[in-house]
Amino acid sequence: MSTRLCYMLAWLTVALWARPPAIVHALTYAQQLVQLEQANRAFEQALISPTPQDARGYYQQALAGYEQLIAAGIHNAKLYYNLGNAYFRLNDLGHAILHYRRGLRLEPGNRQLQANLSYARSRRIDQIDVSGQQQHVFFPQLFFWSDELSVSTQWTLALVGYCLAWGCACAHLVWRRATLLWGLGGAAFFCLIFATSTWLTQSQYTTRPAGVIVVEEVVVRKGNGESYTPQLPQPLHAGTEFVVLEARGSWLAIQLDNGTSGWIRRDSAALF
């Protein structure tokens, strides 16, 4: 039993160390704080501005500040939350939903992001009927924590289980107690479960990328060109979400939540 578990731990060592390196921030911590404070101050000033024109100017200042932080390599749920709120205040549902979704990828259990995303979705023109679609619930039921824990948190838990497993293995070499073998098996299983959920969660983002319409409206066509006839009787509008089936040049083949598919121009949408 201990030999098999050691082989498993060796395999997990390779898998866990294969994690990509972290992004190095271009701004110092002090510069980040100044930039964030200026953007937040502009957002707060927009809320109390006497005219819509003044408010719009302040919201755009806030957007510029938040986007500079993201361009510098800073990514966290709170920053995407603020960015989504600024876009929502500018009546840009597409970009608001885009950034709420990006924030939820980093922090799936964030209640503020979930609430604002739900409200933004209720304001969009296209309300896709999915009542006739079969829902695939195996993954959420088996790995129920995947909707509450970010990929990095799941990965950290896998590393915790990994370290505990090696600790039990080393301790068993010294004391030879059966309880340590049980601890080794439990920790290895814990590590394997969270490593698997991490891989499956990440694969959802990479195998079938998702996106949202960010222009006012776009015609969905039957092929990747303007010469093809429309696939839908009406164009799609800002805020409509989809998954990408194929990318070909300046066109994307997309599928809506109700199973309808077609082609749109790449520059009319953004991916999460």
Question: What does the pLDDT average to over 84-110?
Answer: 95
Q: Which tokens in the block code for residue 98?
A: 């885009």
Q: How many CB atoms lie within 10 A of CB 58?
A: 20
Q: What is the band of 14 on the pLDDT scale with cuts at 50, 70, 90?
A: very low
Q: Which residue has the tokens 């995947």?
A: 146
Q: Are 57 and 7 in contact (CB under 8 A)?
A: no
Using alpha carbons, list the distances in angstroms from residue 230 to 129, 218, 222, 237. 20, 10, 6, 14
Please, what is the end-to-end C-alpha distance for the chain in angstroms? Answer: 44
Say how far apart CA 225 and CA 241 lie, in whole Å. 21
Q: What are phi and psi of 72, to 5 degrees?
A: -80, 0
Rounded average pLDDT over 74-98: 97
Q: 35 pLDDT exceeds 50?
A: yes
Average pLDDT of the chain is 85
**DSSP 8-state code for residue 144:** G
Amino acid found at 165: A
Mean pLDDT of 182-190: 88
Q: Cβ neighbours of residue 183 under 8 Å, at least 6 residues apart?
A: 164, 168
Range among 70-74, 94-98, 110-114, 160-164 rated most confident: 94-98
Dump pLDDT digits (tens) for 187-239. 888 888 888 877 776 666 556 799 999 999 999 999 999 999 999 999 999 99
- Flag whether the pTM goes above 0.85: no
State residue 141's pLDDT score: 58
Cβ atoms of 258 and 130 within 8 Å: the answer is yes
What average pLDDT does range 15-26 have in this prediction? 47
